[in-house]
């Protein structure tokens, strides 16, 4: 489709990214739940497999933290984002690492790992 305001030729329509279903071993955080948390997440460096673990901070209780896991993609239905897909933190060693790092940031943190 050609943009009438551009001087270039017609461009191929771009594909909307996102998953149609949640892959095995992953979980979805619905957008309704995500809205209960601050917009900017906390990212903790972790060397494997995707470098950072995403943690959400509750808007009204700043010490309540939800550990989502490693971000994979968005879940979309008909182009509308329904949720964010994460690979959960399941290994005890990884959970201990996350807990230690979050306690350094907030000593009073109440940490919840997503199922």
Sequence ranges of the domains in the chain: 30-113
Kindly report the average pLDDT of the chain as a whole number: 84
pLDDT at 16: 54
Q: 71 or 22: whose pLDDT is higher? A: 71
Q: 15 or 45: whose pLDDT is higher? A: 45
- List pLDDT tens digits, range 55-106: 999 998 989 999 999 998 898 888 888 999 999 998 999 999 999 999 999 9
* 12-32 burial: b if 16+ Cβ within 10 Å, else e: eeeeeeebeeeeeebbbbeee
Q: Look at residue 6 and tell me whether its pLDDT is greater than 60.
A: no
pLDDT at 30: 92
pLDDT band at 35 (very low <50, low <70, confident <90, very high): very high
Round to whole Å and give the CA distance between 38 and 94.
Answer: 24
pLDDT at 19: 67
Phi, psi of 12 (to 5 degrees): -70, 140
* 35-58 burial: b if 16+ Cβ within 10 Å, else e: eebeeebbebebeeeeeebbbbbe
pLDDT at 9: 57
Whole-number percent of the chain with pLDDT over 90: 52
By the 10 Å C-beta count (0-12 exposed, 13-18 middle, 19+ buried), 102 is classed as buried
């Amino acid at each position: 489709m050609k943009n009438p305001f551009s001087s270039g030729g017609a461009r191929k329509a771009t594909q909307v990214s996102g998953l149609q279903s949640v892959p095995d071993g992953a979980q979805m955080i619905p957008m309704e739940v995500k809205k209960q948390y601050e917009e900017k997440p906390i990212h903790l460096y972790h060397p494997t497999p995707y470098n950072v673990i995403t943690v959400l901070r509750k808007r009204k209780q700043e010490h309540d933290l939800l550990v989502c896991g490693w971000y994979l993609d968005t879940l979309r239905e008909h182009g509308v984002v329904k949720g964010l897909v994460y690979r959960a933190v399941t290994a005890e060693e990884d959970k201990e690492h996350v807990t230690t790092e979050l306690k350094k940031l907030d000593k009073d943190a109440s940490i919840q790992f997503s199922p």
